[in-house]
Structure 1
Amino acid sequence: MIKLTWQYIPLRNDISFLQIKQSEVNEIPFYLYFFYVHVYSAIFVLLAGFTQFSNYILEKKKSIHKNIGKFYVFIVLFLSAPSGLYIGVFANGGFYSKVSFVTLSILWFYFTFKGFTSIKNKNLKDHKAFMLRSFALTFSAVTLRLWKVVFVYLFQPSPMDLYQIIAWIGWIPNLLIIEYYLYNQSKK
C-alpha cells in the first residue's frame, strides 16, 4: 500500500489510477483534491489501525493505544471516509460500484464514530466490536487489490465488470469475517 501511495508523489493528475479518471479530474470540481486526501490519509489509517490490535500495546502502553486510536478516528472521520464518499460517487463500474463505495464510506464513518462514542461512554465491549468493524473496512483497501489480482488472473473480466465485482468483495467478506468472529466471541 505504501508503494501504491508513493507513486502519487509528486502530485500529478495523469499517473496510475488517475489515467483512467481524466474526465473526473478535468470536469468534477475538487475530485483530484478529494482523491489525494483519500489516498494519503488511508495509508496512515492502515498503519495506525494495525497497532491497535497489539496485546502488548493494549496491556502495557494504554496511552499509546489511546493516542493512536484518536489519530485513527480523526483521520477516518474527517479525511478518509468523507473523501472516500466523495470519490465513491464517481466510481468506475457504474451504478452498482458507486452504491458499494458510497455504502462502504458511510459504514466506515458510522462504525468508527460508534467505536469512538462507545469508549467515551466507557462501553469497552461495543468499542472493540465497532472498531473491529471499522478496521475491517479500512483493510478493504488491501483486500480490494488482492481480489483484483485474483480475478484478473483467473477470469480476465472486462475492466468495468471487474470494478463491479471488487467494489463489493473488497469489503463485504471482511465485514462478514468480523461479524462471525464477534458472534463466536459472544458465545464464550
Structure 2
Amino acid sequence: MQLVSRVRVFLFWFLCLAVALASWRFLALGVEVSMEFVAYHAVERQLAFYAHIILAPVALMLMPFQYWKGLRMRRPQVHRWIGRAYGVSILLAGLGSLSMAFGTTAGLVAAWGFGALAVFWLGTTGYGIWLARQGRIAEHQRWMFRSAALTFAAVTLRVYLPFLFMTLGEETGYTLVSWLCWVPNLLFAEWYLRRPMRRSAALAA
C-alpha cells in the first residue's frame, strides 16, 4: 500500500512538472511551431495569450509544493508565499484563458467549455484564498483541492488530446476536450471531499 502511495505521489509530481516545463517549449520553438492550433490568439489577443501560456504552467508547477506536508509544517511562511504566487498566476492566466475562450474559432461548445473552466478556476482559487485570510483553514483546504483539480486540467488535456485527435479529428476532439479535461477532475474532487469525514481527513496529509 505504501508503494502504491509513493507511485501516486511520484506521478503527481512528475506530470505537473513535466507538463509545466513542456508548456514553455514555445520559448525555444516559437508559438507558430509549438502551438500551431491556437497560434492565432498570439496575434488577436496577445496579452491574454501570453499571460495564459506563461503563467498557467507556473501555477501547475507550484501546485505540488502546496501539498508537500513537510514544507507546510516546517516552513509555513514558504507555503503562504507559494500560495500567493499560485493565486496571482491563476488570476492572470485565468483572465487570459477567459479572453481566449470568448475569441476561440473552435465553436460555441468549446468556447463555453474553456470559458466555464476559467470561471471555476478563478472562483475556486479566489474563494479558497479568501477563506485562508479569514483563518478558516479546513474550508480553505477543501476549496484549494477543487482549485488543484482544475489546475490539473492542463495535464488531463494533454493526456486526452492526442487520442481524441487520432480518433475523432482535430475539430471534434478539441471541442470534446474543452469539457473532458476538467469536468471529470472536478467531479472526482467533489466525490473525494464528500466521503465520510474519517476518510477524507486524509486530505490533510
User: TM class by shorter-chain length?
Assistant: 0.7 to 0.9
- Give the TM-score, by structure 2 length: 0.80
- The corresponding residue for 2:194 is 183
Question: Is 1:36–2:54 an aligned residue pair?
Answer: no
The corresponding residue for 2:137 is: 124
Cα distance, 1:2–1:47 mapped onto 2, change above 3 Å: closer
Kindly indicate whether residue 190 of structure 2 is the aligned counterpart of residue 173 of structure 1: no
Residue 4 (structure 1) shift: 3.0
Q: Which residues of 2 match residues 79-118 of structure 1 at below 5 A?
A: 79-118=92-131
CA offset digits 1:105-163 (Å, max 9, x no partner): 0111110110011011111121011111111111101111101133345xx21211001
CA distance 1:62–1:158, shift in 2 (3 Å): same
Q: Distance in 1 between matches of 2:182 and 2:40?
A: 26
Residues in 2 aligned to 1:102 and 1:157: alpha-carbon distance in whole angstroms: 22
Q: 1:15 aligns with which of 4, 28, 33?
A: 33
- Runs of 4+ deviating beyond 6 Å: none
- In the alignment of these two chains, the number of paired residues is 181
Spell out, residue by residue over 1:63-98, the C-alpha distance to the aligned partner (whole angstroms, 9 max, x if none).
Answer: 111110111111112x11100111111235310110
Q: For 2:62 and 2:40, how far apart are their aligned partners in 1?
A: 33
Note the residue ranges of structure 2 that are not aligned, 5 or more in a row: 1-18, 200-205
- Over the matched positions of the two proteins, sequence identity in percent amounts to 25
**One-letter amino acid of the structure 1 residue matched with residue 34 of structure 2:** S
- Read off the aligned partner of 2:58 and give its amino acid letter: F
Using the size of structure 1 for normalisation, the TM-score is 0.87
